[in-house]
Structure 1
Amino acid sequence: MIIQVARIFQILVGIVYFIAGAIKVWHPVLFYWEAVPFTQLLGFDRETFQVVAKAAMLLAPIEVGIGAALIFGWYCRYALPIATILMAFFTGLMVYAWHVGASVDCGCFGALVERGPGEAAVEDSILLIMLIFSTWILCFRERIPWTFKLHTQRQLQFGVIAVAVFICLFRFLPDRERLEVGDLKSGVRLIGLNLVGVEADLQKGRYVIELFSPICGHCIDAVPKLNTLAEDPELPRVIALTNFKQDSDQLTEFRDQYSPAFEIATISLTDFYRLTYAHGYPRLAYINEGVVQSVWERDFMPDVNRLRKITQIK
């Protein structure tokens, strides 16, 4: 009975690893931006954190390979210890992020299923306990129940990793420029954004979004223009995005003092960073069905007539 329980734990953790890795493989650029705050959290400076974050992208196909090995019972003597060590690292990183109060996207599935460091630390701790138990029971057993061992399992294992690497490169190479100029550019589909404080699905309909900070002088100067855009009934809905919490003193004071006519939503620090990287803020963008159509920096924001023309409103 204990052996069966250990095998069930192994399969469940393998599924988590495989899905988490597959998501990262399919969205490698998004995973890069999720990794950046953690490299900074670990003390890497601006000159090295990009290199480390790019290297971290190799985790995506590795996680897929580990997940497949755990699910099918391939190379348990190696897969279980590697998976346990990797999960211990993730757990320690989440606990540290929780301890220092970092505001980053955490958890196995990154920004697509957002978790705070505390929630992610608890989840990873549970997975780590399951792995330790499975490793203790199964690691050196000759026979493990419900395995799919084939004569070609070595080829299949490396084949899974090779396919994951190919897909990752196929998805990454056309968008590699986004690592240098940020993730808010024309033609990019905005995914992984969890808006707090505003009910809106950026994947459906048309929006004008602003990246701003309530303590930024340039952002404050832009309020009258944004109010004009927000009050025009013919223009798309205007939503400002910030990493400040809805109940923060800074955002409360901003609302009280400047009476913005536009809605304000909170996004994670990771998302705010990737959308403002190399440009700063405020930034304005026109979004149609989740795809960025146009982007303007703080000194070149369009007026009502210009925006009407761009959004094809007569």
Structure 2
Amino acid sequence: MKPETTHSLHQSLHQSLQPVGYRIIVVSLGGILLVAAVVKGIDLQQFALQIRQYGILPDNAGLIHGVAWFMVVVEAVIGAALLVNWRPKLMLAAFVALMLLFIVALVWAIVQGGVADCGCFGPAAQRSPLEALVEDAVLLLIAVAAWRLRPEGIYFRKPLKTWAVAAVCVLAMSLPLTVGKGLSDPPSAALEEGRNGSGMVLESLSGEQIDLTTGTFLLALMSTDCAHCRESVPLLNEIVAEVDDAISICGITASEQAEVDRFIEDNFAFYPVLNIDAQRFTSLMSDAPLPQFLLIRDGQILSRWQGEVPQLRALMEVAAKAQGA
């Protein structure tokens, strides 16, 4: 076979496989975005709380709920458009812009610390900002590859495609109000469950329990990959040594058990650290980054400190005041 013929066959094969590779990539990217949008839309309240923990937006519940809703719609529309190949050039550019936005937010979260869950898939999957950053960087590279593989042919704008994308847009807008948790409840409403003692028995994923309805506890809400959380360990160790049995100190996290064991070993924590269900963990948090510290007496949340470990004197004063009342 002549070299010219071989080259021609290779070129023909490349041209025939290029559209197939492009479609596989964009369908995969579109499916990922669509699934993420549905999961977030079903529990918009949880997604809003995850956005709030980044500390980028003003501390306004209405604004953050609106941004959460808007992001659900944007992801659903881009995902559906990529699936049906509607305005592919524009939608690929939108996907790249979305990934860049996510990457900037994740870098901010890593630098600032205190974000336990990236929020990429709402409450369905928990990943640290660093893990999500790697994943989004890979998706960005794949989207760039799809742009290079994109055939230069004419794309027919069939009305059916437009109607399909429009239908997904309407469904995404109505999702939080129909099958999901609506916007009427503020993100921190779940905290009220524990103020009267109900739901205040914490159980780790390994089955260990802490009954917060009896006694005085200082809960350190933390993430194992949070720099500020690691810095709080020596101060909490000092409190453990000072209070003896008057106040029980316990770290609470939603990280995996292997990460918890590594955290205790690397930071020499003298107090137990329990990993609990991510949704239960979030319900204990307020609308602020980690670490957070809750002083609880007989099931009542007496006080909360954010960012810094409370002084021992402040702890004892709050506990004594509650006992006198």
TM-score by length of 1: 0.63
| Partner in structure 2 of residue 70 of structure 1 | 82
Matched, 1:24 2:40: yes
| Partner in structure 2 of residue 308 of structure 1 | none
CA contact (8 A) 1:18 1:63 kept: yes
| Partner in structure 2 of residue 275 of structure 1 | 284
Per mean C-alpha deviation after superposition, the further-off stretch among 7-16 and 86-95 is: 86-95
| Partner in structure 2 of residue 3 of structure 1 | 19
Q: Within 1, Cα distance between the matches of 2:173 and 2:131?
A: 30
> What fraction of aligned residue pairs are identical, expressed as a percent?
18
| Partner in structure 2 of residue 90 of structure 1 | 102
Relative to structure 1, the CA distance from residue 114 to residue 269 in structure 2 (aligned partners, 3 Å threshold; closer, same or farther) is closer
Q: Select the residue among 52, 58, 64 that pairs with 1:36.
A: 52
| Partner in structure 2 of residue 115 of structure 1 | 127
State the shift of 1:67 in Å: 1.1
CA contact (8 A) 1:208 1:284 kept: no
Q: Within 2, Cα distance between the matches of 1:125 and 1:250?
A: 29
Q: Deviations over 1:68-103 (max 9, x none)?
A: 111121221322211111111112222333344454
Where 2:274 maps in the other structure, the secondary structure is strand
Where 1:185 maps in the other structure, the secondary structure is helix
Q: Within 1, Cα distance between the matches of 2:264 and 2:86?
A: 50
Q: Within 2, Cα distance between the matches of 1:59 and 1:139?
A: 29
State the shift of 1:241 in Å: 2.6
Relative to structure 1, the CA distance from residue 13 to residue 45 in structure 2 (aligned partners, 3 Å threshold; closer, same or farther) is same
Gaps of 5+ in 2: 1-16, 221-232, 304-318, 320-325
* RMSD (CA atoms): 4.3
CA contact (8 A) 1:9 1:130 kept: yes
Gaps of 5+ in 1: 228-238, 256-262, 286-294, 302-314
CA contact (8 A) 1:182 1:277 kept: no
Number of equivalences: 252
Q: Within 2, Cα distance between the matches of 1:211 and 1:82?
A: 46
| Partner in structure 2 of residue 260 of structure 1 | none
CA contact (8 A) 1:211 1:242 kept: no
State the shift of 1:222 in Å: 11
Q: Deviations over 1:178-204 (max 9, x none)?
A: 425344527xxx9xx996xx5149xxx
Larger-Rg structure: 2
Where 1:241 maps in the other structure, the secondary structure is strand
Q: Within 1, Cα distance between the matches of 2:267 and 2:72?
A: 37
Q: Within 2, Cα distance between the matches of 1:78 and 1:284?
A: 56
| Partner in structure 1 of residue 189 of structure 2 | 181
Q: Select the residue among 133, 144, 153 that pairs with 1:132.
A: 144
Q: Within 2, Cα distance between the matches of 1:266 and 1:284?
A: 21
